[in-house]
């Protein structure tokens, strides 16, 4: 019988986790990917939530990872409502579309709830996140700051009613843009991995 566990990431995992993230995201949203560098840099960011830095291990093999980051909704009345976002979340290519991603997400959301997060926002695919209770954020009064009509900004209440009466905007935390703000650092980091072919594929966003 196979043994599946979800546990906190340890320092010994770091390279393995980043390799997994690189494999999971490679050529999915753009030729190559950047998410492994985002993960690499986030662990030192004050917004990073160490308790929700999780890996999924199947029979001793790491097959999934997720991290969480503190973020906020900026309300039209000036209030700032702390929430969380998450990602990168990745499943090793050989294990995608077998339910592991949903299991990891649902488990980590339980943990986020235990830590007191009232809601989670993420820009992503409703076909995946909708299965875990996410809805377009604009239906809950939360607009994507740089693209107010976006229906790909998704949100999920962890505390029922947490978003009641809210009208405001959401911006991805600065750490998600590290590859744009530090292209040289990213290039040096990427050079530490074995070369991998970057492909232009249908469905990529960038
Ligand atoms: C996205 C990802 C984490 C999902 O994990 P997964 O293990 O492949 O997904 P699951 O098997 O748990 O899927 C759960 C449900 O979402 C749906 N789903 C998952 N990925 C989907 C996709 N890309 N398109 C459409 N539906 C999808 C599945 O159909 C499944 O529903 P079902 O059980 O009714 O069939 C994984 O595919 C991955 O690592 N992708 C590359 C990295 C990425 O995109 N991360 C998210 C960035 S926002």
Query: Where are the chain's structural domains?
Result: 4-186
Cα–Cα distance, 178 to 157 (Å, whole number): 28
C-alpha to C-alpha distance for 190 and 193, rounded to whole angstroms: 6
**Cα(79) to centroid of ligand 1, in Å?**
34
Architecture in CATH for domain 4-186: 3-Layer(aba) Sandwich (3.40)
Q: How far is it, in rounded angstroms, from Cα 97 to Cα 102?
A: 9
Q: In tens digits, what is the pLDDT along the chain, a chain of 206 residues?
A: 899 999 999 999 999 999 999 999 999 999 999 999 999 999 999 999 999 999 999 999 999 999 999 999 999 999 999 999 999 999 999 999 999 999 999 999 999 999 999 999 999 999 999 999 999 999 999 999 999 999 999 999 999 999 999 999 999 999 999 999 999 999 999 999 999 999 999 989 88
Can you say how many angstroms the Cα of residue 52 is from the centroid of all Cα atoms in its chain? 11
pTM over 0.95: yes
β pairing state of 135-136 and 61-75: unpaired
Question: Does the C-beta of 100 come closer than 6 Å to ligand 1?
Answer: yes
* 70 in contact with ligand 1, CB cutoff 6 A: no
Q: Which residue CA neighbors atom 33 of ligand 1 most closely? A: 99
Token pair belonging to 156: 């999920």
Among 21, 97, 131, 172, name the best residue to mutate to test ligand 1's pocket (greatest count of ligand atoms within 8 A of Cβ). Answer: 97
């Amino acid at each position: 019988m196979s043994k599946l566990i979800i546990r906190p990431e340890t320092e010994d995992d770091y390279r393995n986790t980043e390799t997994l993230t690189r494999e999971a995201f490679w050529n999915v949203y753009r030729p190559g990917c950047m998410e492994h560098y985002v993960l690499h840099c986030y662990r030192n960011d004050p917004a990073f939530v160490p308790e929700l830095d999780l890996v999924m291990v199947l029979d001793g093999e790491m097959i999934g990872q997720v991290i969480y980051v503190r973020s906020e909704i900026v309300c039209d009345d000036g209030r700032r409502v702390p929430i969380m976002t998450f990602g990168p979340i990745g499943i090793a290519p050989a294990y995608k579309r077998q339910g592991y991603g949903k299991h990891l997400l649902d488990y980590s959301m339980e943990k986020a709830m235990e830590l007191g997060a009232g809601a989670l926002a993420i820009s992503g695919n409703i076909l995946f996140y909708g299965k875990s209770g996410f809805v377009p954020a604009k239906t809950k009064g939360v607009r994507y700051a740089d693209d107010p009509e976006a229906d790909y900004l998704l949100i999920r209440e962890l505390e029922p009613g947490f978003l009641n009466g809210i009208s405001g905007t959401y911006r991805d935390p600065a750490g998600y843009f590290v590859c744009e703000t530090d292209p040289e650092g990213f290039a040096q980091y990427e050079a530490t991995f074995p070369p991998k072919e970057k492909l232009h594929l249908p469905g990529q966003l960038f």
